Structure 1
Amino acid sequence: MPRHPDEPDRVMPAEPAPEGAVHPPREDSRQPTTPLRPQTTNDETGSDAVGPAPAQDEHIAAMQELEDRWRRALADLDNLRKRHARELERERTVERSRTAAAFLPVLDNLELALSHADADSGAVVEGIRAVRDQAVNVLELLGYPRHAETGVTFDPARHEVVGVVDDPDVEPGTVVQVLRPGYGDGDRQLRPATVTVAKRE
């Protein structure tokens, strides 16, 4: 039948589709879809997809080797320190024994002099003087010579002044008397000589 121009279009009901037919999608229900990325296989990705790279393996091996060498060096250093301590203590023991053995004859002669003290006092004095000379010789052999010289110029490295005397017959600053001998020189000095010196003008 004829349609009035102002009358809106009427949608005719669609005929039902036969059973089993596929309905096309509606225009308003079509959504944009993201294309699927093709899956890659191990052959396409290479060796990066399977385990660490060879360079990383070499780096780890080098670090392990350095650590092993460091630990061995520490162990060697500790063993060297212990061996050095043992050798040093052994050398000290040997030197103490050698020094003590050098003084044994001095003690023997002192005992011999004391055993003759009642027989002759003059002989005892001579014997003690001989023992003193023997002990001085032992110290000199060990590297500590005796210094008891008078009439020499005062040396602050070798003398320790404990008194000053007024003696016009000697030069000022001259050693007049040695109260206690000194032993050794320079870095090997056991002690300086204790002296009195002439007064300076």
Structure 2
Amino acid sequence: MHNSDSQSPDQAPEMDAQNAATGGELDALKAKLAELEASNRELRETVLREKAELENQRRRLHRDLEQARRFANEKLLNDLLPVYDGLERGLTTEGGDVATIREGLSLTLKELLRIASNNGLVQVDPVDQPLDPERHHAVSMVEAPGKAAGTVVAVLQKGYVLNDRLLRPALVTVAKDD
């Protein structure tokens, strides 16, 4: 029988050494591949957990914002309940003189203004001040001796500012030039 192998007998041990080295490298590469696949699985799981946590935080934030929006007026309305009670008591009172009713209304108004002020509402009452088109709305001009032109002489309806933002301008009468 004839050996059709073109390798000489001297080359066989060299090929076996190469195959062994290649086999060792192959095993090392397989081990490295398994290690990288395991690392990839861990990273994928971490990313999925982080993604789920972000989604949970988003849902919690949305729920908290919705609750805050729904109950934003709770403190203000709770503060207004005594005013409401006072007005109801005043309406159920039989008889009584005008002075007593007026005093009750005055106290109720003071309480209402105190609550509004505590919540950032400020009245705009510009009598004897120069007209400010940003905060006042002039509805008429009148002759007013002793007043400079453009000065507010009467307030028909007070204006209101909420935390430095105009809520409603004051309706005013302004002195005109003589």
TM-score by length of 1: 0.63
111, 129, 141: which is aligned to 1:134? 111
- Structure 1, unaligned runs of 5 or more: 1-33
Query: Any residues of structure 2 matched to 1:170-185 within 5 Å, and which?
Result: 170-185=147-162
- Structure 2, unaligned runs of 5 or more: none
User: 1:100-147, CA deviations, whole angstroms, 9 ceiling, x for partnerless residues?
Assistant: 221111112212322346432343233223222221111011221222
Tell me which residue corresponds to 1:120: 97
* 1:87 and 2:87 correspond: no
164, 169, 176: which is aligned to 1:192? 169
User: 1:11-50, CA deviations, whole angstroms, 9 ceiling, x for partnerless residues?
Assistant: xxxxxxxxxxxxxxxxxxxxxxx97468855415233445
Q: Paired residues, what number?
A: 167
CA-atom RMSD in angstroms? 3.4
Tell me which residue corresponds to 2:143: 167
Q: Distance in 2 between matches of 1:177 and 1:184?
A: 19
Query: Any residues of structure 2 matched to 1:101-120 within 5 Å, and which?
Result: 101-116=78-93, 118-120=95-97
The 1:187/1:48 distance shift into structure 2, 3 A limit, reads farther
Larger relative contact order (CA 8 Å, sep ≥ 6): 2
- Tell me by how many angstroms 1:93 deviates: 5.4
Query: Any residues of structure 2 matched to 1:8-47 within 5 Å, and which?
Result: 36=6, 42-47=19-24
SS class of match (2:139): strand
TM-score by length of 2: 0.70
